[in-house]
Amino acid sequence: MRNQNKKSIWVSPWGFAESSLIVTALMVSGFLIDLFSKNRSEIEFPYPINIIILTILFVFITAIFLTFKKSYFVKWLQSAQLAIVTISWMLLLVLLMGIFKQENSSEISIINRLYLSNILSSSAFLLLQLILLINLSFALLNRFNKLNFRNISFILNHLGILIIVIGLGFGSGDISKYTLKISKNDITWKTKRGDTEIELPFAFKLIAFRLENFPAKIGIVDNQTDEIIKGNDKIILTGQDSIIYFNGKTIRLKKYLQNSIQFGENFHSVNEIGSCSAAFVEIEDVNNKKQTAWISRGSHLYPSVLFPIDSSYTLAMLEPEAKSYKSDISVYFKSGDIQQYTIEVNKPVHINGWDIYQTDYNKELGEWSDYSVIEMVRDPWLNVIYFGVFLMMAGVVLLIFTGRINNNELV
């Protein structure tokens, strides 16, 4: 009796099974398109092309809905089942972004050809966006057709999601992103994208660069492989009194200098260009015989100093890790105004619609870097996305406030 009531697949109305098969097939088709396409360019539509395409798309969607709104196919296109399956696949692709490094790479590999290294530009993700856009549009048109106060929270919530999808999908072509190197000696007001020279809306000059490193670490190096012996018990933390035991020897850190220069056999604390981290260490063997020596990472002006433990292993200072770095810059506007800002890693400054990020510096010179690498990013659709988030949250608040939660009104 139970089997007689079970609906066969592809019998109207379509549910999760049909939605899963269709959406999965379209997503796989997107990956296959990317895999077998040669030299596919990025699918981006800048203004005003994106507005024109979006307008034509919505006119077409509205016409289809008004003409065939009673058909099972259109009802399926606005169903909750289709939305849930589509969003689930989109979330899975977003999770893959945390597994595969996202970058524009010209290297020929299966990862790059499937656009797993640039998922947001993949045909699979774009097809999922299109399905969700159609789904939300049909669902909203259906609710607008019977507009009442009870549907306001639904409309706000889904209109917000639709605006977010539009902003992410159709706004990518209007994103401007430039990387440039600024120095103390020159005012930088141009950059390049490929072979094209681009004039910036304002100019930059580096005033000062500041770098703070974590205390350097001391490690044991295998002389045959030049590799560092792994393990926390084989690394000395120079920021504290540390002891490690290796091959019957006791290695102690006696003194650490953050910035120093070698004079004769000793290092002395000096803070000037080319100074480097140094440590005074002691090695004691099983017979209580002790040896002491200075070791140093070295710099672009001074060579590194090592301490042989025995014929197979050497004590060496490792490259210091950057704790934070920032740049004091002057920004020259076309109006003649000059303003000063400080940009730091993960702490961009906002200037006339542009976000300015600190991204790199001259690692050879370290804290005496003579230039900074900054990135300028402008996304004119960002406020559109924020507006969509606001509408979505307003719909959720209104839904909670009215208490009209209906499981059949997810989409």
CATH number of 177-212+323-378: 2.60.98.10
Q: Which two tokens stand for residue 312?
A: 């197979």
For the stretch 145-161, pLDDT in tens is 777 767 888 899 999 99
The whole-angstrom separation of Cα 321 and Cα 314 is 21
Coil vs helix vs strand at 375? strand
Q: Which two tokens stand for residue 92?
A: 């899975």
Task: Give the residue ranges of DSSP H helices in 237-294.
Answer: none
Strands 313-317 and 196-213: unpaired
The reported pLDDT for the residue numbered 231 is 61
The 10s digit of each residue's pLDDT in 343-379 is 998 899 999 999 999 999 999 898 899 999 999 999 9
**What element of type H or E holds 90?**
helix 80-96
Q: Binning pLDDT at 50, 70 and 90, where does residue 246 land?
A: confident
Instruction: Give residue-wise pLDDT tens across range 36-87.
Output: 987 777 777 889 999 999 999 999 999 999 999 999 999 999 999 999 999 9
Paired tokens of 50: 């994106």
For residue 83, the model assigns a pLDDT of 96
- Which tens digits make up the pLDDT trace of 293-313? 999 999 989 999 999 998 999
Which distant-in-sequence residues (6+ apart) come within 8 Å of 97 by Cβ? 119, 120
Most confident segment among 21-25, 103-107, 214-218, 395-399? 21-25
The domains of the chain are located at: 2-145, 177-212+323-378, 215-320
Check: pTM over 0.85? Answer yes or no.
no
CB atoms within 10 A of CB 256: 22
The helix/strand count (H/E) of the chain reads as: 9, 17
pLDDT of 37 reads: 86
Question: Looking at residue 238, what is its pLDDT?
Answer: 59
